[in-house]
Amino acid sequence: MNKFNNGIDADSENEEFGETEHIAGERTRHRDTHISFHFRPSGEVTLDGLSGKTAKERRRQQATKIIFLGASIEALGQNRWIHYSRNKNAYTGQKRYRGKEYTYAFVPSAVDCLEELGVIEHQRAFPCAPMAGSYGYQSRFRLVPDAGLILPKYCCDPFETVRLKDASKRLVDYPETDRTLRMRRETYEINEALCSIEIELESEACVRRGPHIFCQTGNLDDNLQPKCVVINPARNSVYRVFSNGKWNLGGRLYGGWWQNVPSSERTNIHIDGFATVEEDYQQLHPRLLYHFVDKEPIGDAYTIDGWDRPLCKRSFNIAINARTEFAAIGAIQNLVGGPGARECATKLLGAIKNHHRPIERFFHTGIGLTLQHIDSQMASHVVRSMLKQGIVCLPIHDSFIVRAGNQSQLLEVMEEAYCCVI
């Protein structure tokens, strides 16, 4: 069975960079970004008007500087609004993931301080009425245009490399076990290796502005303008994310900036100045499902007569991740768009299930997170096995980027990982 495909057709779903978080009783506006405490100044951040004499005041001052740094970095990128919570409950159990300064006592007051200093534009949200099912927007802010920004040197600290989210996708605390300690140690070793190499993106479709790389995707936005992704190379560490409060769901490696590079541009990634290649497991999730029923898939999993292949692929992934048929049809409907989208989505889901009758029972069961856990185990095996050979590879869930001269070793290790995990 040919399980590999030369950098094409990777079955990967990139998570947001930073964290997508759902706070109970609150929602965020489209394209806002969550406040980040992972960017840390390498030197001193100067803000006139700040002073701290007591230990508590100095910690609040540090929180203020970290928030200002994050707003400054965002201002040189897309200058999106940065949302944060003024709900005390949102900060419970978050020190593990964001550091000691990320508390209800410090964050809202630090944002208020920056507003008083005149360096941010601030929209404070007010608590919504306590009605059943009601919720309001989070507060948000962004750097003012004339803030006189001089961006200091900074680094990105992931803090916690083993992350657990509940069913609402909120990061939650957890007790340490031998398993979590082992995973953290393994991820730390991976990050040490990643930080030891130079990773660059050299492409005419990508432009460097300040600390960011603006990379065209080849698609158009709603205004018929070229879409761009904004990449911050400071994000050169990875972390594992588990879902629904369970250690056997999810577990993929996220966080590396190369994961956000459009697939068409990943051939332009260089490691230590050398050209790279990408290898991936071909149609991994369909193959895993067929393995569960002791059958082999026939032909291409995403090629269905009368339907666009990329649409089939995305719809297949929706179908295995959705928990109900209703939810699956709704998500595919949004994907299709336009008049008659609901009918089209229903027909497409039916065509996918008919095409994959041996594994039909797995659709709209939420099994996608189980499959992600399997591919996360394979990815961890691949990255760590390559490190034992002195080779650093960049993980993208079920695909991997290495220097061109290391391609054969990578393919061998990928085969080994598949056999070991499956």
Work out the number of other CB atoms within 10 angstroms of the CB of residue 265.
Answer: 22
Residue 61 included in any domain: yes
Instruction: Mark whether 156 and 200 lie in a shared domain.
Output: no
* pLDDT tens profile 133-186: 445 688 999 999 876 667 778 889 999 999 999 999 999 999 999 999 999 999
pLDDT of residue 16: 37
**Can you give the CATH number for the domain in which 101 is found?**
1.10.10.10
Residue 304 included in any domain: no
- The three-point CA angle 415-419-420 to 5° equals 115
Instruction: Mark whether 146 and 216 lie in a shared domain.
Output: no
Instruction: Mark whether 279 and 239 lie in a shared domain.
Output: yes
* pLDDT tens profile 352-411: 999 999 999 999 999 999 999 999 999 999 999 999 999 999 999 999 999 999 999 999
Q: Using CB atoms within 10 A of its CB, is residue 263 exposed (0-12), middle (13-18) or buried (19+)?
A: middle
* pLDDT tens profile 82-128: 999 999 988 988 989 998 899 999 999 999 999 998 999 999 987 66
* pLDDT tens profile 39-53: 988 877 667 667 667
pTM: predicted TM-score of the whole model, two decimal places: 0.86
Q: Is 252 strand, coil or helix?
A: strand
28 pLDDT above the threshold of 90? no
Work out the number of other CB atoms within 10 angstroms of the CB of residue 86.
Answer: 17
Asked if 398 and 12 count as a contact pair (C-beta separation under 8 A), the reply is: yes
Tracing tokens 């497991």 back to the chain, one arrives at 281
pLDDT of residue 31: 75
58 pLDDT above the threshold of 70? yes
Domain ranges, residue 218: 178-284+368-421
Over range 207-216, report the average pLDDT. 87
Residue 236 included in any domain: yes
What one-character-per-residue DSSP string does 145-156 give? TTS---PPPEEE
275: enclosing H helix or E strand: strand 274-281
Count of structural domains, the chain: 2
CA dist., res. 320 & res. 313, Å (int): 11
User: Which of 107, 139, 164 is the last residue before a domain boundary?
Assistant: 164
* pLDDT tens profile 237-279: 999 999 999 999 999 999 999 999 999 899 999 999 999 999 9
Instruction: Mark whether 252 and 127 lie in a shared domain.
Output: no
CA dist., res. 25 & res. 382, Å (int): 41
User: Which of 114, 132, 164 is the last residue before a domain boundary?
Assistant: 164
12 pLDDT above the threshold of 50? no
What one-character-per-residue DSSP string does 147-199 give? S---PPPEEE----SEEEB-TTS-B------HHHHHHHHHHHHHHHHHHTS-E
Tracing tokens 């200058």 back to the chain, one arrives at 79
User: Which of 115, 140, 164 is the last residue before a domain boundary?
Assistant: 164
